[in-house]
């Protein structure tokens, strides 16, 4: 789970002395100064004390609501959960609104008409707490109350601009919340993009390492086995094979290092030369093209990977006596006369994936490379239903 973002000094945090997020909510309490002043200058008595206490409690409750709502939104954003308009429990939302309303009404005896300022705060709290449509209805109802009350009570007619202030505050709060939601969505999208990029890079590295080491280690194993058989029969030839094993091991190590550094390039000509060496070591007759046609760099690299994967599978799994590589400007094909796919069908079943006897993850990686280049990988039996065929072909539009 992603840890919550560290809060700025002015935004609601989780712990610590710098958790001063209440300042954002408290700064708007400046407009409560007028009703508090009216209540304070009211003749001493229960009405004044009740109004001052109610307005002070109103301001404190409003700040707490702001902090609770924003913290809930930050918590949802930090865990990747889509934010919703009403962030707290529905019943609690209505209880908090009712509490604000009651505190505002308790200020009437001491604050007089100035208590109507609390309706503006009540409207913004409704926007913070309630679902969007419900909040719109509540704001409309409060605006109607703010318009009617000054007309119904002659002493309150001085509050003629209250409706405008209420609507302005509600829409401003609405805009701030929408902006916060969009920022949360953007942060979630950025985290998802980062996660996918990391996953894609890991898959690419795993695919490259599999393709490189799979081929190299297969040839090393074949040559080591051949050297073991020749050790007593032909020591000189065995020494040559051991030297090849050492060379291939060093090349494989260099390939791994260059792949980790993202500098490695695969060439079709190089893979064809490597294929001849691997097939000769495995005792498989190699029928390879005499020349390599001019191909775009990306297509030549893809065909090189296809030759590498195809020859590796022939050496590992086929039991073949002959391997043929056919090359054209828009395709490359690796065929053998070995045992072929397991069963009667294609080696890559839609439900189970590639036949593990014919490359498994290597074929998956080759398919991914082919898709990126706009090419297709075809697998199946060779001509006459014998052996195995790996073909990579690209549309002529891409080949050109």
The answer to whether 170 and 122 have CB atoms below 8 angstroms apart is no
Average pLDDT of 322-344? 85
The pLDDT > 70 percentage for the chain reads 74
- Among 170, 193, 216, where does a domain finish? 193
Asked if residue 17 belongs to a domain, the reply is no
Of the given ranges (105-109, 309-313, 396-400), which has the lowest mean pLDDT? 396-400
Residues 149, 113: Cα–Cα separation, whole Å: 10
Query: 28 and 165: one domain?
Result: yes
**Residue span of the structural domain in which 286 resides:** 267-400
* Secondary structure letter of residue 89 according to DSSP: -
Q: Is the pLDDT of residue 349 over 70?
A: no
Mark whether 277 and 394 lie in a shared domain: yes
Of 329, 339, 250, the residue nearest 293 (C-alpha)? 329
Give every CB contact of residue 200 below 8 A, 6+ residues apart in sequence.
none
Name the domain boundary from 193, 210, 241: 193
Q: Do residues 281 and 394 both lie within one domain?
A: yes
The reply to whether 42 and 146 lie within a common domain is yes
Assigned domain for 227 exists: no
Mean of pLDDT over the chain: 76
Residue 247 resides in a domain: no
Q: Is residue 337 part of a domain?
A: yes
Q: What is the pLDDT of residue 24?
A: 56
For residues 160-177, give the mean pLDDT: 81
In this prediction, residues 170-182 reach a mean pLDDT of: 79
List the beta strands (DSSP E) in 218-355. 285-287, 322-328, 331-336, 348-349, 353-354
Same-domain status, 283 and 188 = no
Residues 45-80 have pLDDT tens digits of 888 888 888 888 988 888 888 877 777 766 665 555
Whole-number pLDDT of residue 392: 94
Is the domain of 189 the same as that of 272? Answer: no
Same domain? For 177 and 31 the reply is yes
pLDDT for position 341 = 76
Instruction: Say if residues 340 and 386 touch (Cβ distance below 8 Å).
Output: yes
Backbone angles phi, psi at 353, to 5 degrees: 85, -170
| CATH code, 393 | 3.30.565.10
Helix or strand (DSSP H, E) at 376: strand 375-381
What total number of domains does the chain contain? 2
User: Does 339 reside within a domain?
Assistant: yes
With cut-offs at 50, 70 and 90, classify the pLDDT of residue 393: very high
State which H helix or E strand residue 393 sits in: strand 388-394
Q: Residue 214 has what pLDDT?
A: 67
| Residue 211 is assigned to a structural domain of this protein | no
pTM: 0.45
- Indicate whether 272 and 176 sit together in one domain: no
Do residues 177 and 281 both lie within one domain?
no
- Last residue of a domain, which of 135, 165, 193? 193
Task: With residue 380 as reference, give the H or E element that holds it.
Answer: strand 375-381
pLDDT in tens, 103-158: 888 888 888 778 888 888 888 888 888 888 888 898 888 888 888 877 777 766 65
Question: pLDDT tier at 332 (50, 70, 90 boundaries)?
Answer: very high
Q: Are residues 139 and 275 in the same domain?
A: no
pLDDT of the residue at 212: 64
Confidence at residue 160, expressed as pLDDT on a 0 to 100 scale: 60
pLDDT digits (tens, 9 = 90+) for 232-264: 778 888 888 788 777 777 777 766 666 655 545
- The confidence score (pLDDT) of residue 220 equals 76
For residue 242, what are the contacts with CB-CB under 8 A and spacing of at least 6? 223, 224, 227
For 362-383, how does the pLDDT look when each residue is reduced to its tens digit (9 = 90+)?
A: 788 788 888 888 899 999 888 8
306 and 174 share a domain? no
Whether 195 has a pLDDT exceeding 70, the answer reads yes
């Amino acid at each position: 789970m992603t840890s919550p973002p560290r809060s700025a000094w002015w935004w609601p945090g989780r712990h610590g002395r710098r958790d001063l997020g209440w300042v954002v909510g408290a700064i708007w309490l400046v407009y409560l100064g007028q009703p508090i002043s009216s209540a304070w200058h009211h003749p001493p008595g229960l009405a004044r004390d009740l109004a001052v206490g109610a307005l002070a409690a109103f301001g404190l409750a409003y700040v707490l609501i702001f902090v609770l709502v924003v913290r809930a939104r930050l918590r949802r954003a930090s865990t990747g959960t889509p934010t919703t308009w009403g962030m707290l429990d529905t019943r609690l939302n209505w209880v908090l609104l009712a509490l604000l309303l009651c505190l505002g009404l308790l200020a009437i005896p001491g604050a007089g008409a100035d208590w109507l300022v609390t309706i503006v705060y009540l409207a913004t709290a409704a926007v913070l707490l309630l679902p969007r449509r419900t909040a719109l209805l509540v704001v409309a109802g409060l605006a109607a109350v703010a318009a009617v009350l000054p007309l119904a009570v002659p002493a309150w007619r001085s509050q003629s601009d209250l409706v405008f202030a209420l609507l302005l505050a509600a829409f401003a709060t609405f805009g701030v919340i929408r902006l916060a939601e969009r920022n949360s969505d953007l942060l979630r999208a950025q985290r998802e993009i980062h996660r996918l990029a990391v996953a894609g890079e890991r898959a690419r590295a795993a695919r490259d390492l599999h393709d490189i080491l799979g081929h190299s280690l297969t040839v090393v194993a074949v040559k080591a086995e051949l050297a073991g058989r020749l050790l007593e029969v032909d020591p000189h030839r065995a020494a040559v094979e051991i030297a090849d094993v050492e060379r291939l091991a060093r090349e494989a190590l260099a390939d791994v290092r260059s792949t980790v550094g993202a500098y490695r390039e695969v060439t079709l000509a190089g893979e064809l030369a490597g294929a001849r060496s691997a097939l000769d070591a495995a005792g498989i007759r190699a029928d390879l093209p005499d020349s390599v046609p001019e191909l775009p760099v990306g297509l030549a690299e893809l065909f090189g990977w296809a030759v590498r994967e195809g020859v590796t599978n022939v050496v590992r799994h086929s039991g073949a006596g002959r391997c043929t590589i056919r090359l054209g400007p828009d395709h490359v094909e690796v065929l053998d006369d070995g045992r072929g796919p397991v069963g009667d069908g294609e080696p890559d079943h839609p439900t189970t994936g590639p036949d593990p006897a014919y490359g498994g993850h290597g074929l998956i990686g080759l398919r991914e490379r082919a898709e990126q280049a706009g090419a297709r990988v075809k697998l199946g039996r060779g001509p006459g239903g014998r052996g195995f065929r790996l073909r990579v072909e690209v549309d002529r539009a891409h080949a050109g």
